[in-house]
Amino acid sequence: MRREVLVLGGGLAGAAAAVHLARAGRDVCLIERTPGPHDKVCGEFLSFEAQGELRRIGVEPRMLGAVPIQAVAVEAGRRRAEAPLGFEALSLSRRVLDEALLAKAAETGAEVRRGARVTGLVRDGEGWSVEVEGQGRIGARHVVLATGKHDLRGWRRPDGRQSDLIGFKAYWHLPNAAEGTVELHLFPGGYAGLEMVEGGLANLCLVVGRAGFDGLGRRWERLLSHVLRSCPGLRVRLAGAEPCEGRPLAIGRIPYGFVQEGSDGLWRVGDQAAVIPSFTGEGMSIALHSARLASSFLLAGRGAEAFQRRLARDVRGQVRLSTLISQALVAPGAQAAAGWLLVPPVLRWALWRTRLPETARRRV
Ligand SMILES: Cc1cc2nc3c(=O)[nH]c(=O)nc-3n(C[C@H](O)[C@H](O)[C@H](O)COP(=O)(O)OP(=O)(O)OC[C@H]3O[C@@H](n4cnc5c(N)ncnc54)[C@H](O)[C@@H]3O)c2cc1C
């Protein structure tokens, strides 16, 4: 049977698109390769904008145990600057959040197939043919591509402006918790974010340049020692802390700065459409916004090309500026030069300019 819409990938973008389309009565089938709840490399900071998108879908992060964050702190060596966020952010593990969205998609009427991996995608006349491991081919009129950080074979995204970073994420039991504050610690070759999530755990998420990681023998223990040597504030936080797992989750070749311009016929959403550097905490907001925008264009009978151009216009400025800042943060000598970010008005300006503007969100 040919489906009207196949959504490939059930992260935030895919699940949100499935909810919006199913709610409008469309035939939607979502295919997600993981069989159940799972962790992801993500700082898990939910911006004001992301929270608004979640509420539209009918998911309330506070009801799922999200913890509030009111301030941001940046540390470079012994210098620290702190500023109020100007809104209340929330922090919630992706293990919980992504499941809530997938449950909402199923409840809304979408068919959700778990433990099903897409292995092929080809054009088929006016529509598409999708190969799912162990399940054969499924035909569809429209395909929403939402595989996030992972590219399908033959559909690789081009590199972003900063594509040489590797991301790590690990949970810690923390005796010296940073309640209510998200901390950004700069170290030579990268930066690390620390914030509390539900259940009294702290999420330590960091990115480091590939060359720097190679120089540390590609070993997590050596990278962590390097980070703690360079970040006295983080050293204090992690003193006596216990990691929850032996090894962190990792993701390579993150295409920071990538923005999909134009369309190849697919409806690309989330990280398949744009990748903003993680220090902004705005990736999930863009993922959710792109899903709502794609759904509204598809429901209105407007093409993927028009959607993709409009999304690029919405996010291009923020992605470009954030990538420039991210490049500056990992450049040699960045710690000494990062003084500008430690000036609270500059920090507030950077916070504001790297968010998805309200005008873009309202126009959908
Ligand atoms: C280091 C780091 C820190 C970050 N921190 C934050 C933060 O604090 N706040 C924030 O807002 N954003 C943050 N982000 C960005 C955020 O994680 C992403 O923007 C967001 O997850 C994008 O959602 P998505 O749905 O597009 O992709 P994903 O969340 O990656 O979901 C894609 C889904 O597709 C599935 N999939 C992949 N391939 C296949 C396949 N072949 N078949 C079937 N299913 C498949 C995967 O299993 C996955 O569930 C961070 C990113 C990084 C790298």
Structure tokens at 209: 């340049």
Are 153 and 237 in the same domain? no
Are 134 and 231 in the same domain? no
User: Per-residue pLDDT for 212 more than 90?
Assistant: yes
Are 277 and 328 in the same domain? yes
Specify if 79 maps to a domain. no
Instruction: Count up the domains in the chain and report the number.
Output: 2
Contacts of 348 (CB under 8 A, 6+ apart): 83, 86
Are 97 and 238 in the same domain? no
What is the structure's pLDDT at 336? Answer: 66
CATH of the domain at 214: 3.30.9.100
* Helices first, then strands: H and E counts in the chain: 11, 16
Q: How far is CA 284 from CA 1, 237, 270, in A?
A: 33, 26, 8
Are 27 and 149 in the same domain? yes
Q: Among residues 253, 270, 300, which one ends one of the domains?
A: 253
Are 145 and 174 in the same domain? no
Are 47 and 115 in the same domain? yes
What pLDDT, in 10s, does the model give residues 128-186? 999 999 999 999 999 999 999 999 999 999 999 999 999 999 999 988 777 899 999 99
User: Per-residue pLDDT for 348 more than 80?
Assistant: no
Q: What percent of the chain has pLDDT over 90?
A: 84
- Answer for the pair 146, 110: CB distance below 8 angstroms, yes or no: no
Specify if 81 maps to a domain. no
C-alpha to C-alpha distance for 190 and 188, rounded to whole angstroms: 6
CA-atom Rg of the chain in angstroms? 20
Structure tokens at 189: 């070759």
Question: Ligand 1: which of 144, 150, 330 to mutate, judged by most atoms within 8 Å of the beta carbon?
Answer: 150
Are 119 and 24 in the same domain? yes
Specify if 82 maps to a domain. no
What is the structure's pLDDT at 245? Answer: 87
What pLDDT, in 10s, does the model give residues 26-83? 999 999 999 999 999 999 999 999 999 999 999 999 999 999 999 999 999 888 888 8
Ligand 1 centroid to Cα of residue 125, in Å, is 30
Specify if 71 maps to a domain. no
Ligand 1 centroid to Cα of residue 150, in Å, is 8
Q: Among residues 199, 221, 253, which one ends one of the domains?
A: 253
333 confidence band (pLDDT: 50, 70, 90): confident
Specify if 58 maps to a domain. yes
Are 272 and 184 in the same domain? no
Instruction: Kindly state the average pLDDT of the residues 236-249.
Output: 92
What is the structure's pLDDT at 363? Answer: 73
User: Per-residue pLDDT for 358 more than 80?
Assistant: no
Specify if 83 maps to a domain. no
What pLDDT, in 10s, does the model give residues 287-306? 999 999 999 999 999 999 99
353 confidence band (pLDDT: 50, 70, 90): confident
User: Per-residue pLDDT for 359 more than 90?
Assistant: no
Domain of 111, in residue numbers: 3-66+91-159+255-362
Question: Ligand 1: which of 163, 267, 278 to mutate, judged by most atoms within 8 Å of the beta carbon?
Answer: 278
Are 173 and 154 in the same domain? no
CATH of the domain at 347: 3.50.50.60
319 Cβ closer than 6 Å to some ligand 1 atom: no
What is the structure's pLDDT at 244? Answer: 94
C-alpha to C-alpha distance for 13 and 7, rounded to whole angstroms: 10
Among 289, 306, 288, smallest CA distance to 298 is for 306
**What b/e sequence results for 278-287 when a residue is b if at least 16 CB atoms lie within 10 Å of its CB, and e otherwise?**
bbbbbbbbbb
112 Cβ closer than 6 Å to some ligand 1 atom: no
For atom 9 of ligand 1, which residue has the closest CA? 281
What is the structure's pLDDT at 337? Answer: 64
Specify if 76 maps to a domain. no
Structure tokens at 48: 């004001």
282 Cβ closer than 6 Å to some ligand 1 atom: yes
Specify if 41 maps to a domain. yes
* Residue 245: how many other CB atoms lie within 10 Å: 10
What is the structure's pLDDT at 351? Answer: 77
91 confidence band (pLDDT: 50, 70, 90): very high
**Chain mean pLDDT for the chain:** 94
C-alpha to C-alpha distance for 185 and 190, rounded to whole angstroms: 9
Q: Among residues 228, 253, 278, which one ends one of the domains?
A: 253
Are 243 and 264 in the same domain? no
Are 116 and 131 in the same domain? yes
> What DSSP assignment string belongs to 245-313?
SSS-EEEEEEEET-B--S-SSSEE-GGGTB---GGGS-HHHHHHHHHHHHHHHHHTT--HHHHHHHHHH
Among 254, 204, 276, 255, smallest CA distance to 233 is for 204
